[in-house]
Amino acid sequence: MNKYKAGMNKCNALWVAPFFLMVGLPAQAVESTELLFLNWSNYMDPEILTEFEQRTGIRVKQSYFDSDTSRNELLLETEGKGFDVALINGASIRILAKRGWLEPLDETGIPNLTHIEPRWRTTYEEADAYGVPYSWGSVGIAYRQDLVPFTVSSWMDLFQPPQMLQGKVSMISDSSELIGAALKALGHSLNSTDVEELKEAEALLKTQAPAVKTYKYLSLDENSALVSGQIAMGIMYSGDALMVQGHHEDIVFVLPEEGGNVWVDYLSVLSASTEKAAAKRFIDFLNEPDIAARNAQYIHYATPNRAAEELLPAEFKNDPVVYPSAQALEKSETYHRLPARTQKRRSAIFSRIVY
């Protein structure tokens, strides 16, 4: 993917800048720097992007992906080029860094990193060297309580739905989340390397397949299939469930009793970026406490920024979907690095189910 730079080149800016200073406009406004940010949709408050541009003259343009798998495939196609900043899930940090696509973190360029809770920086291998924690949350089940005639509490409610819900289930086109949820439903670790347990997970996914309407992640706006009722329940990230709940009061989220995936997302600078200084400035801006607090409330996810947490309203911090209790998280896990043989086996399972 090519990134198009807006505005004047540096040569033109040399003579235009004095004029802007004469009329009282900031000199940086003529630089017209643009960052291309690879991100999930609805995962950044647009007003914050506008404020960043007004303050710095740096425009942030977003390009979207709909699963961690599709983001990694996109970076593979472009060899990590064409983007300045990317939203990376913790489990992918080491893999992408090993390919040389992520810029090592220079902490002096991101002073607001001091606000980050240390445990979130080291949740995954090499995350502290290549990424700045952005948010954290859980994966569970979102469902319409007016369409599902029972209280959902287990992954098996999703994998073995009653006949009336056939064709009204949505899953996710992400190999880790799809297979991980099946493993948790069966009482296994989502990091299982056991061949028989993976065979059990595949069998469960195949049994469920006729009930699944789509493996594409649902939209979060008023046109979402969960809002219209085309979908009655499906896998969803916790904050996304809260966002779509704003369009229909009968949508609820549950972290299944077997536990799920507790994840951390990171902001990383791409090593091929030609705007690394601006990219770091953007990440630092996002970690100003008031900015981080505002953004957390917009995306409905917990912030790893300690100073920002202090600014959040009690209602937000006490929401068990955003900040699950220790008891609720007891059986949940984070993804670990898996042997290459296991990764290959999981990819084959995913292909047989989704494609």
The CATH T-level fold of domain 10-136+263-317 is D-Maltodextrin-Binding Protein; domain 2 (3.40.190)
As beta bridge partners, residue 34 has 59
**Coil vs helix vs strand at 108:** helix
In this prediction, residue 106 carries a pLDDT of 84
What are φ and ψ of residue 270, in 5° steps? -80, 135
Q: Which of 312, 315, 258, 337 is nearest to 135 (CA)?
A: 312
In this prediction, residue 5 carries a pLDDT of 31
Region label for 308, one of left (φ > 0), alpha (ψ between -120 and 50) or beta (otherwise)? alpha
Contact 80, 104 (CB under 8 A): no
In this prediction, residue 23 carries a pLDDT of 38
Q: What is the pLDDT along the chain (355 residues), one digit of tens a residue?
A: 433 333 333 333 333 333 333 334 444 444 579 999 999 999 999 999 999 999 999 999 999 998 888 899 999 999 999 999 999 999 999 999 999 999 999 888 899 999 999 999 999 999 999 999 999 999 999 999 999 999 999 999 999 999 999 999 999 998 999 999 999 999 999 999 999 999 999 999 999 999 999 999 999 999 999 999 999 999 999 999 999 999 999 999 999 999 999 999 999 999 999 999 999 999 999 999 999 999 999 999 999 999 999 999 999 999 999 999 998 899 999 998 899 999 999 999 999 999 7
In this prediction, residue 77 carries a pLDDT of 92
Intrachain domains 10-136+263-317 and 137-261+324-354 with the same fold: yes
- What 8-state DSSP symbol labels residue 109? G
**Coil vs helix vs strand at 264:** strand
> In the structure encoding, which two tokens stand for residue 281, read together?
């400035």
> In the structure encoding, which two tokens stand for residue 303, read together?
């912030």
Contact 138, 260 (CB under 8 A): yes
| Residue boundaries of the structural domains of the chain | 10-136+263-317, 137-261+324-354
In this prediction, residue 25 carries a pLDDT of 41
Sole residue written with tokens 């860094």 = 97
The CATH T-level fold of domain 137-261+324-354 is D-Maltodextrin-Binding Protein; domain 2 (3.40.190)
For 338, how many CA atoms within 13 A lie in the half-sphere containing its CB?
21
Tally Cβ neighbours within 10 Å of residue 29: 17
Amino acid letter, residue 272: A
- What 8-state DSSP symbol labels residue 271? T
Rounded Cα distance, 209 and 224, in Å: 21
- Residues near 263 by beta carbon (within 8 Å), at least 6 away in sequence: 89, 90, 91, 136, 137, 138, 139, 334, 335
